[in-house]
Amino acid sequence: MSQKIRVMIVFGTRPEAIKMAPVLAELHRQKTLFTPLTVVTGQHREMLAQCLDRFKITPDHDLAVMTAGQTLEDVNCAILKGLPEVFDRLHPDVVLVQGDTTTSFVTALSAFYHHIPIGHVEAGLRTRDKWNPFPEEMNRHLTGVLADLHFAPTEQAQKNLLAEGIPKDRIYLTGNTIVDALHEIMAAQTNGASPTLSGRPTARTLAAGGLKPPSASRLWLLTLHRRESFGKPMEGIFKAMRQLMTRYPDVELIFPVHPNPKVQETAHRILANRKRIHLLKPVDYFDFVGLQSASELILTDSGGVQEEAPSLGKPVLVLRETTERPEGVTAGVARLVGTNPKRIIEEVVRLMDNPQLYRKMVRAVNPYGDGQAAKRIVKILVAVFKKK
Catalytic residues: 100, 122, 136, 225, 227, 258
**What does 46 bind: ligand UDP, ligand UD1, none (CB cut-off 5 to 8 Å by kind)?**
ligand UD1
Least Cβ distance, residue 138 to ligand UD1 (angstroms): 10
Q: Does 222 bind ligand UDP (CB under 6 A)?
A: no
Least Cβ distance, residue 360 to ligand UD1 (angstroms): 29
Closer residue to ligand UDP (CB): 110 or 260: 260
**What does 69 bind: ligand UD1, ligand UDP, none (CB cut-off 5 to 8 Å by kind)?**
ligand UD1
Least Cβ distance, residue 50 to ligand UD1 (angstroms): 8
Which segment (14-22, 148-156, 238-246, 335-343) binds ligand UDP by CB under 6 A?
A: 14-22
Question: How many angstroms separate the CA atoms of 275 and 266, rounded?
Answer: 17
Question: How many angstroms separate the CA atoms of 200 and 189, rounded?
Answer: 14
- Please give the angle made by the CA atoms of 305, 308 and 310, to the nearest 5 degrees: 115
Question: What does DSSP assign to residue 73?
Answer: H
Binding interface with ligand UD1 (CB under 6 A) = 13-15, 43-48, 66, 68-70, 72, 75, 100-102, 135-136, 225, 259-261
Closer residue to ligand UD1 (CB): 36 or 328: 328
**What does 308 bind: ligand UD1, ligand UDP, none (CB cut-off 5 to 8 Å by kind)?**
ligand UDP
Find the radius of gyration of the CA atoms of the chain: 21
Least Cβ distance, residue 136 to ligand UDP (angstroms): 7
Q: Does 223 bind ligand UDP (CB under 6 A)?
A: yes
Q: Does 256 bind ligand UDP (CB under 6 A)?
A: yes
Tell me which of 285, 310, 316, 376 binds ligand UDP, using CB under 6 A.
Answer: 285
Sheet (strand 297-300) strand order: 277-280, 251-256, 218-223, 297-300, 316-318, 334-336
Neighbours of 170 (CB within 10 A): 14
Query: What are the backbone dihedrals phi and psi of residue 298, each rounded to the nearest 5 degrees, phi first?
Result: -120, 130
With beta carbons less than 8 A apart as the criterion, state whether 352 and 155 touch: no
Closer residue to ligand UD1 (CB): 320 or 375: 320
Q: C-alpha distances in angstroms, 312 versus 32, 139, 180?
A: 35, 29, 13
Q: Does 283 bind ligand UDP (CB under 6 A)?
A: yes
Residue type, position 232, single letter = K
Strand partners, 300: 223, 318
Q: Does 15 bind ligand UDP (CB under 6 A)?
A: yes
- E runs forming strands in the chain: 5-11, 34-40, 61-62, 94-98, 118-121, 149-152, 171-173, 218-223, 251-256, 277-280, 297-300, 316-318, 334-336
List of residues contacting ligand UDP (CB under 6 A): 14-15, 18, 223, 225, 256, 282-283, 285, 288-289, 302-305, 308
